[in-house]
Structure 1
Amino acid sequence: MTSLRQCAIGTVKDLRAADCLTLEGEESVITDQTIIVKIIKTDEHEIYANQLKATWTHPTGDTKISQIQEDKNGDYFVTGKFTNPGVCKLDVSADDEPVNQSPMTIKVEEGRLVNTIKINTTSIRDVVKCEDDSLLVSCETNEMLKYKQSGEYIGTVTLPQGVLVNRMYKMKNGNIAFSDCNVNTPIRICNMNGQLIKTISVEAKNTPRRIHVDETSNVLYAAAGWSNSCVYMFDMNNGKTIKTIGSQGTKEGQMNNVSDVTLTNQGHLLVLESECFGTGTSRLQLFNNEGRFIKDLVEAGDEDGKVKYPRAVVVDEDDNIIISSQHKLQLFSSDGTFIKRIDKPEDGINNPEGLSIISYHQRRLAVANYGDKTVKIFNY
C-alpha cells in the first residue's frame, strides 16, 4: 500500500507512507554499544515491513543494509553497532522515499570518563540513582547527599543520629534499603524524608553489609563478609530469613570475605569475593536461583580479565557484568568472558566502593570512588 486517500473537511489529499513515519534515537552512543532507532508512526497509516529499507553508513564510510525489526507491539526499529569512533548515518525509506528525520546522524564516541563529582565528606561508600536522575551518595554518616549528575549539590536526606549508612538499594517505590557500618546492626528501610520504616535481617548471625533487592519476588539478598561469610535471603514482608547460602571457605560454592552480591537478569545469584591478607582468593561465583553453586566466572589476578580486591558488582540490561577492583573497572559478558577495561589509569580509580548503572540505554555508570572521595561517571 503506497498511498492513502485521506478525507478532510473540503479537501482530499494523497498521503505517502514516508510522510507518516519519523525516526527517533540517541544523538550519541559509545563504541560497541547497540544503537536502537525507532521508526515512529505519526499517522494512522498501515505500513508493512517490506515497504521499508534501512542503510547504515559506518564512521569508516562503509555502508550496510540493515534488517527492519518489529517489536511485540507491532512497531518497527533498526539496530546497529560500531567499533570505530566518528559519525554514523542511518537512512530509512518507505517505498523508496526518505521518512522524516532521515538521514539520522549519530555520534559514536569511545567509552570515557564523563564527569567527576567531588563529595565534601571524609568517606564515601555508595551511590544510587533517584527517580529524577539525581544521585544519592552514602558517606558512612547519618546523611545521604543528593547531587545532580552535573555535580551540583541538591540537598540531604537525614536519618536519625547514630546511623552510619553503608551500601544502599533504591527501590521502585522510592524507599531505600541500606546497611549500616555499625556492628550488629540490621538492614533497614527508610523513605526519602529520612524516616525509618522497616527493619530486615535481625536474625542474621553476622552483620550483612552488601545488599541487593529482588523486587519481583520481594526478597532481599544480603552478603556478610569476613568470618562466617555467606549470603542471606530475607523476606521483605516480614523481615525473616528465607535461606542462608554458602559456607565459610575458599572451595567451589564456599565463601570467603564476600564483598558484594547481585542478581543476573535470569535471577541467578552473583557472589563477589575479595581476598584478605594476601590469600589470592578474589573471584566471582555464580549460583542458581535456589542457591546451588554453578561455577566460578572470574578468577583472581592483577591482569585484565581477573580481579584483585574487588569491591562491587552490577549487571546491566544486556546481562553484562561490571566489577570494580582496587584500581580499575572491568566489563565482562554474562559467562565471565572479559570484554574490556572501562576506565583508563589516568582516570584515578582508587579503591572504588559502590557501583550504579544510571542509564541503561546510554550505558552510563556511576562509581563511588573511596580513594579521592568522588563520584565518577563513565560511559562504557
Structure 2
Amino acid sequence: MKKKGDQMKNEVKTIYEKKNKVLDVQKDELKTTISDINTKLSFLNQLMKSDEATAMQTGKKVIIALKDRINELPKTEPNDNGYIKFLINKQQLAAFQQFDIGNVTQVMAADCLALKGEESVIQGQKIVAKIIKTKEYEIHANQMKATWTEPTGETNITQVQQDDKRDYFVKVECTSPGVCKLDVSADGEPIKQSPLMIKVEKEGLVNTIEIHKYVTDVVKCEDDSLLVSCATNDMLKYKQSGEYIGKVTLPQGVKVNRMYKMKNGNIAFSDCSTNTPVRICNMNGQVIKKIGEGVLGTPSCIHVDETSNVLYADCWSSSCVYIFDMNNGKTIKTIGSTGKKEGQISDVIDVTLTNQGHLLVLEYGNNRLQLFDNEGRFIKVLVEAGDENGNVSYPEAVVVDEDDNIIISSQHKLQLFSSDGTFIKRIDKPEDGIHNPKGLSIISYHPRRLAVANAGDNTVKIFNY
C-alpha cells in the first residue's frame, strides 16, 4: 500500500507540474502583452502632447495598432477545471488478490460530453446539435471546437453557442445533398458520439401514392403510416412507401371529409353530408362522441387544440368559426362576422393554430389567410388573392410546422410562408402534377416532410421542403 501510495503521489505531482507549466506560459504571454500595450499607450500620450498635426497623422496608426494588439490577447482561460480524480479499484480490494487501492487520473473535458443531433434533414434546413454533459464538469465554450464538413468536402469552423439554460449547442446549415459530418472536440479531444453523420436529402417530390379514389385529406398515425379519407365511410391506411396496409371502417352513410389525429389515438373528422356534427372515433371505427350537433350545417374543416381541449370548426360558406368544448360538445363562442373586409369572414375552408395559439382562418371565396388572436380579435391579413407566387387562388388547406412556417395548398400549387405571411418558396414544381390539392399534413420535421391529398389525380404526394 505504501508503494502504491508513493506511486499515486508521483502521478499527482506530474499532473500538478504539467498544469503549472501551462499557467506559467500563459502568465508570461499576458505580461508581454500588457507591457506592449502600456508602451503603445505611453507613446500615444506623448503624441497627444506634441504638435497637433503630428498627433493627428501618427495617432491614428498607433490607435489601430493598439486595437489589433488588444484583439490578440492570449487565451487565459484554463483548459480544464483543474480536477484530479481518484478512482478506487473496488473490485480488486474486494477480491483481496492485490493491494491495488486505486489510481489517479486527470479528468478530461471530452470524457464528460456527448454530441446529440438529428440524422436526417433537408438541404437548407438548419441543424441544431446539442452538446450534452454526461458528467459534472466545468467547461467553457472556448475550450470546444466544432468543424462542419459538407458533402463537397468543404470544411468550416463553426462556433459553439450557449442557450438561455446555459446548455451548449452547434447550429449549422448544409446546402448540398449527401452526407455531412459534424466533429466537436474539447481541449483537442473528440467528445462522445463525435463525429455526427447527417444525411442531407434533396428538396421536392419524394413519393406518389395511388389511391384510385377521390381523396379529401391525409393525416399521420403514431406508427408513421398515413390515414387517407375519400368522402366515404372508410379511412384507408398506407405506409409512406405507398404500401396499402388496411382501413378504418365507420358506419354506413358516413362520408369522411377532413380529419384531425389526436394524441390519444382517436380521430376527429368532419362529414361531407348535410347537417352533420363533427364526430370523434377510435381506430376500430367506433364513434365515441359528437360535437356541434344541431349547430353545424356541413362542416368543412376542423382543428383540435388538445392543450385547451377545444375544437375549432366551420361550415361550408360560413361567416364565422365555431369553438366547442370537447368535454360537453357545447359552443363556447364564435369568431368573425360576414363580409369581405379585413377582419370579416366569408367561405371559410380551413382553420389551424400557430405555435403561439393564434387562429389562422383560410377563406376559399376571398382567397386569403387571416390571423386572429386567441380571443378572436383580428390582427392582420397574412396572404392575399392572386395566381403568382406569394398569393393564393382557391385555397383548400393550411398547416403550421415546428418553425411556425405556414404551408397553403391552393388550386395548382403548394406554398411556404413565414409566420408573418412573407412568401418563402413554392414547394412543388409544375411537373409534379399538383391539381386541386385538398388536405395537408406535416409528417416529419427531420427531414421536413409534407403529405398532400391531391384530388386532381386521386393520389397522396409526399414532398421534402
Fold match by TM threshold 0.5? yes
User: Is contact 1:2-1:17 (8 Å) kept?
Assistant: no
| Structure-2 separation of matches of 1:261 and 1:135 | 21
Alignment coverage as a number of residue pairs: 371
User: Is contact 2:352-2:361 (8 Å) kept?
Assistant: yes
Matched, 1:261 2:351: yes
User: Is contact 1:330-1:340 (8 Å) kept?
Assistant: yes
| Structure-1 separation of matches of 2:354 and 2:116 | 29
Greater share of helix residues, 1 or 2? 2
- What is the deviation of 1:58? 4.5
Determine which of 289, 310, 313 is the counterpart of 2:374: 289
Q: Residues 58-77 of structure 1: matches in 2 within 5 Å?
A: 58=150, 61=154, 63-70=156-163, 72=165, 75-77=167-169
Please give the secondary structure, in 1, of the residue aligned with 2:110.
Answer: helix
| Structure-1 separation of matches of 2:354 and 2:205 | 26
Q: Residues 9-20 of structure 1: matches in 2 within 5 Å?
A: 9-10=91-92, 12=103, 14=105, 16-20=108-112
User: Is contact 1:126-1:354 (8 Å) kept?
Assistant: yes
User: Is contact 1:56-1:66 (8 Å) kept?
Assistant: no
Matched, 1:168 2:259: yes
Answer with 94-103 or 77-86: which moved more: 77-86
Determine which of 353, 362, 365 is the counterpart of 2:438: 353
| Structure-1 separation of matches of 2:129 and 2:104 | 29
| Structure-1 separation of matches of 2:278 and 2:151 | 49
Give the AA of the match of 1:96. G
- Alignment correspondent of 2:424: 339
Determine which of 158, 171, 178 is the counterpart of 1:79: 171
Summarize the Cα distance change of 1:376–1:49 in structure 2 as closer, same or farther, 3 Å threshold.
farther
Larger Rg: 2
Q: Residues 91-102 of structure 1: matches in 2 within 5 Å?
A: 91-102=183-194
Give the AA of the match of 1:294. I
Give the AA of the match of 1:273. E
Give the AA of the match of 1:237. N
| 1:85-142, Cα deviation, whole Å (9 max, x unpaired) | 455432200111112343334343331211111114x211111111111111111111
- Alignment correspondent of 2:9: none
Answer with 179-188 or 150-159: which moved more: 150-159
- Alignment correspondent of 1:299: 384
Determine which of 302, 316, 327 is the counterpart of 1:237: 327
| 1:35-56, Cα deviation, whole Å (9 max, x unpaired) | 1223344x43425243322233
| 1:311-351, Cα deviation, whole Å (9 max, x unpaired) | 00000111100001111111000000001111111111111
Answer with 245-254 or 178-187: which moved more: 245-254
Percent identity over the alignment is 71
Determine which of 78, 87, 92 is the counterpart of 1:6: 87
Greater share of strand residues, 1 or 2? 1
Question: Structure 1: 5+ residue runs without aligned partners?
Answer: 276-280
Higher relative contact order (CA 8 A, sep 6+): 1
Q: CA RMSD in A?
A: 2.0
Please give the secondary structure, in 2, of the residue aligned with 1:311.
Answer: strand
Summarize the Cα distance change of 1:117–1:287 in structure 2 as closer, same or farther, 3 Å threshold.
same
Summarize the Cα distance change of 1:19–1:180 in structure 2 as closer, same or farther, 3 Å threshold.
same
| Structure-2 separation of matches of 1:16 and 1:56 | 23
Answer with 63-72 or 214-223: which moved more: 63-72
Give the AA of the match of 2:87. Q
Give the AA of the match of 1:6. L
- Alignment correspondent of 1:25: 117
Summarize the Cα distance change of 1:97–1:26 in structure 2 as closer, same or farther, 3 Å threshold.
same
Q: Residues 139-158 of structure 1: matches in 2 within 5 Å?
A: 139-158=230-249
User: Is contact 1:54-1:68 (8 Å) kept?
Assistant: no
Matched, 1:103 2:188: no
Matched, 1:56 2:148: yes
